[in-house]
Amino acid sequence: MAEETYPINLWINEERLEKLQQAGLSSMCKEVLAGLKVLAVPNTAAQRDKVLKMFPMAKFDTATTKSIELLPKAVKDKIFDLVVQKKSLNIMDDFLKS
Amino acid sequence: MDNIGHGGKEIVERILPKSAAIKRLSELRAAKVKELPVRLQIATEVIDIAYGFFSPLEGFMTKADVESVCDNMTLADRKTAWSIPIVFDISDDDLKKSGIKQYDEVLLTYTGNPFAIFDVTDIFSLDKKEVAMKVYGTTEDKHPGVKRTYQYQDKFLGGKITLLNPPKINEPFTRFWLTPKQMRERFQEKGWEMIINHQTRNVPHTGHEWLMKGAYLGAYGSMMVDKPRGGVLVNAIIGEKREGDYIDEAIILCQEAQGKYGYFREDIFLTTCSLWDMRYAGPREAVFHACLRTNLGCTHHMFGRDHAGVGSYYDPYDAHRIFNKLPDGSLRIKPIFNLDWWFCPVCDEVTYMGLCGHKDKKASFSGTLIRSIIQDGVKPPRRIFRPEVFDIIMECAEKYGFGSAFVNEQYLKNRQPVFTIEPLK
Ligand SMILES: [Zn+2]
C-alpha cells in the first residue's frame, strides 16, 4: 500500500486547466465528481503539520475528504502557481520556505 | 387551514397592537416598572415566543418546565413533547441590582428601545452540568450546545412574554420572514394540503435538491395531480453563526434560487426563514425542529443523516430513532427519513443510498468537499451544483460577506443585523 499523503486539493477550472496543459501537467489531474478535476498536492505528515501551524484557520479533514481544507484562496493560488512553475507536485518544501 | 399548532393548541400570538403598546409603555414607565436590557440570544427567543414559533410556549420556561424537558422530554404538563430548554438567564449581580422579584412585571429593552413585557413568575437556578448531560448527552464544552449552557448566568427567570415592539427584519431577509400565522395563510393561498419542510443552514447542492424532490414525490402519494396540492418549504435557520458557516444571506438567497431558476416549479416551492440559534442537539434538536415546523403549518418534515448533529456526539441515525421513542400522537407532523445521497458515475446522476447499486463506485460530496471547491472560486459541474446558485454565492460574498461566502471574524463583527428594534413611537 502506498504511503499516506495529506493532500491539498486544488480544484481545476478552465483557467487552471489551461495553465496545466501549457506546463504539460494536465495528466496529473484526477476526475472526481461528475467530470470535475482536482490536482492533489501531496504532503508528508511533517509538511502537513507545518501548513496547519502556518495557517491556523486550516484543518485536516479526517471525516470526509481526508485532505487539508479551509486554506485561503490566495494561499491555494500560490501553491498552484508553484506547481506550474516547477512542473512538479513536490513543491511543498519550496512553498513552506517562501 | 386551522391555526392549531404543536401540542394541539391554537398558535400563540402575544403581541400588543401598536396603539395599545404605546399606551401600555407609558403606563409602565409612569409606574416605574423595572427595566432589563436583553442580548441578541434572548431577543431572538422573545420574538419566537411572541409570534408562536414556540407554541404552545407563552414565555420563558419555569423550573418545572426545564426539569420536565430534561427528564421526560415534555413540558411540565407531562404531555406536550418538548426537547430543548428555552430559558432566560440573569447574573446574581444583575438580579440583585435590578431588584426583580417573583410576580414582577418587567420591561425588556433591546438595543436601548422598549421591546417586551416579561411577567416573571419563577426565579430559579439550575445544575447546568446536569442539564447539559440530559439534553446533549455530554458535558464536554466542545459541544456548542453545552458551551452555550455553561455560558448561561447563574439565575433564571420564567414567565410569559408580551411583545410591545415588533422587530424590523432587515434586507435581504424581509421577504423571507413569515410568522406562523402568515405562513399558514400563504399555504392556504397556494392550495397546499401537504407541506414538506426542509431544514437547512446550508446553501443547496444537488444532493439536497434530490432529497427534497424525493420527499415531495414520496409524500404526494395518491393525491390528485389536477393542480399542485402540496409543496416544499425550505425553512432556513437564521441565528448565531460559527466561523466557517455559510453567511446567512447566501443561505437564504441560494435556497430561493432553486425556485427562481426552475429547479422546482415556483408554485410548489417556498423559501422562508426562522430565527433560531442552533444547539446541535442531534436527536433532541430533531424533535424541536418537528415542533417548530408543526407551528409553521407543515405536514411533513425531512430528517437527513446526522440531522442537527455535531462532531461525533450522535450516531448518524439517532435523530431518526428518537421519533420511535415518542408516545403516539406526540407530534402532529410526519417525519420523512433520508439516507445518504451520492454521485454515481455509472448511473451518471445524483442518486440515493437506498436506490443505487454501485456503492463501490460512488463519489460522495460532503458539505466540506463542496466548500473546498467553492473556496477555490471554482464552479462545480451543474449536476453537482447549480450554476445560478454558485453565482449568487459569489455575489453574496462580495455584497454581504466582506469577500467571503463563509463566516469570518469580520462578518461576525460588522455584518448587518438580521433584525432591529426601533424606538416605539
Ligand atoms: Zn449507480
B379 contacts on A by Cβ (under 8 Å): 13
Ion ligand 1 — residues with CB under 5 Å? B 344, 346-347, 356, 358
Ligand 1 centroid vs B345 CA: distance in angstroms? 7
pLDDT of residue B419: 98
Listed as own residue / partner, the contacts of B24-28 with beta carbons closer than 8 Å and 24 or more positions apart are: B24/B117, B24/B164, B25/B107, B25/B114, B25/B164, B25/B424, B28/B105, B28/B107, B28/B117
Whether the predicted pLDDT of B350 surpasses 90: yes
Report residue B213's pLDDT band, with 50, 70 and 90 as the boundaries. very high
Q: How far apart are the first and last CA of chain A?
A: 32
Answer yes or no: is pLDDT of B152 > 80. Answer: yes
Across the interface, do A10 and B376 touch by the CB < 8 Å criterion?
yes
pLDDT of residue A1: 47
> Is the pLDDT reported for residue B1 higher than 80?
no
> Residue B225: is its pLDDT beyond 70?
yes
Cell of B46: 422573545
CATH superfamily of domain region B6-167: Sulfate adenylyltransferase (3.10.400.10)
Domain locations along chain B: 6-167, 174-420
The span from the CA of B270 to the CA of B248, in Å, is 17
Q: Do A34 and B381 touch (CB under 8 A)?
A: yes
**Range in A32-36, B166-170, B200-204 the model is least confident about:** A32-36
The residue among B55, B28, B53 whose CA lies nearest residue B117 is B28
A42 CA: distance to closest CA in chain B (Å): 16
What is the C-alpha to C-alpha distance for residues B221 and B16, in angstroms, rounded to an integer?
42
Chain B hits for A67, Cβ within 8 Å: 372
d(CA B244, CA A59): 11
- Please report the beta strands in A1-98, taking only residues with DSSP state E, as ranges in sequence order: 8-12, 30-33, 36-41, 59-61, 67-69
- Find cell 450522535 and name the residue: B314
- What's the average model confidence in pLDDT over B287-306? 97
CB-based contact (8 Å) between A90 and chain B? no
Q: According to the model, what pLDDT value does residue B226 have?
A: 92
Position A2 scores a pLDDT of: 59
Is the fold of B6-167 the same as that of B174-420?
Answer: no
Q: Please report the pLDDT score of residue B2 as a whole number.
A: 82
Strands (E) located in B191-348: 194-200, 230-238, 269-275, 300-303, 334-337, 341-344
Q: Which residues contact B192 (CB under 8 A, 6 or more apart)?
A: B228, B229, B230, B231
Instruction: Give me the pLDDT at residue B148, please.
Output: 98
pLDDT at B333: 98
Residue A53 burial (CB count, 10 A): 10
| pLDDT > 90: percent of chain B | 95
Nearest-angstrom CA–CA distance, B101 and B120: 8
* Adjacent-strand bridge partners of A61: A67
Query: How far apart are the CA of B211 and the centre of ligand 1, in A?
Result: 16
3-class secondary-structure state, position B420: strand
Residue B67 and residue B81 in contact, taking contact as beta carbons nearer than 8 Å: no
Q: Flag whether residue A10 sits within 8 Å of chain B, measured between CB atoms.
A: yes
Q: How high is the pLDDT of residue B33?
A: 97
Identify from B348, B366, B376, B382 which residue to disrupt to test chain A contact, counting A C-beta atoms within 10 A and taking the largest count. Answer: B376
Q: Is the CB of residue A18 less than 8 Å away from at least one CB of chain B?
A: no
Q: Which residue of A has its CA nearest to B369?
A: A65
Cβ neighbours of residue B225 closer than 8 Å, sequence gap 6 or more: none
Q: What is the pLDDT of residue B28?
A: 97
The Cα B190–Cα B231 span in angstroms is 9
Name the CA dihedral angle for B334, B337, B342, B343, rounded to a multiple of 10 degrees.
Answer: -30
Cα–Cα distance between B13 and B183 in angstroms, integer? 14
What is the mean predicted confidence (pLDDT) over B214-240? 95
Cell numbers 454501485: residue:
B358
**ipTM of this complex:** 0.91
Residues in chain A closer than 8 A to B377 (CB atoms): 13, 73
pLDDT in tens, B372-422: 999 899 999 999 999 999 999 999 999 999 999 999 999 999 999 999 999
pLDDT digits (tens, 9 = 90+) for B51-60: 999 999 999 9
For A73, the closest of B375, B381, B384 (CB atoms) is: B375
CB B169 within 8 A of CB B419: yes
Closest CA to B276 of B182, B186, B187, B177: B177
Q: Please tell me the distance from the alpha carbon of residue A75 to that of residue A55, in angstroms, as a whole number.
A: 9
Please list every residue in chain B whose beta carbon sits closer than 8 Å to the beta carbon of residue A10: 376
User: By the CB < 8 Å criterion, does A33 face chain B?
Assistant: yes
Q: What is the pLDDT of residue A63?
A: 77
A65 and B369: CB-CB below 8 Å?
A: yes
Binary contact (A33, B377; C-beta < 8 A): no
Which residues in B194-218 are b (16+ Cβ under 10 Å) and which e?
bbbbbbbbbbbbbbbbbbbebbbee
CB contacts, 8 Å: B365 with chain A: 33
Specify the residue for cell string 458535558: B139
Task: Dig out the grid coordinates for B10 from the structure.
Answer: 391554537
Regions of chain A short of the pLDDT cut 70:
1-3
Q: Which of A8, A10, A11, A62 to mutate against chain B (most B CBs within 10 Å)?
A: A11
Of B363 and B89, the structure prediction assigns the larger pLDDT to B89
Torsion of CA A88, A92, A95, A97, to 10 degrees: -130
- How confident is the prediction for chain B on average, in pLDDT? 96
- Smallest CA–CA distance, residue B96 to chain A, in Å, is 42
Best to test chain B binding among A16, A20, A33 (most B CBs inside 10 Å)? A33
Is A58 an interface residue toward B (CB < 8 Å)? Answer: no
How close, in Å, is residue A97 to chain B by CA atoms?
A: 23
Q: What is the pLDDT of residue A62?
A: 83
- Kindly report, residue by residue over B305-334, the tens digit of the pLDDT: 999 999 899 999 999 999 999 999 999 999
Substitution target in B243, B344, B378, B383 with the highest count of A β-carbons within 10 Å is B378
Q: Which of A10, A13, A32 has the CB atom closest to B379's CB atom?
A: A13
Could B381 and A35 be called an inter-chain contact, meaning their C-beta atoms sit closer than 8 Å?
yes
CA proximity to B10, closest of B273, B316, B294: B294
Question: B174-420 — its CATH code?
Answer: 3.40.50.620
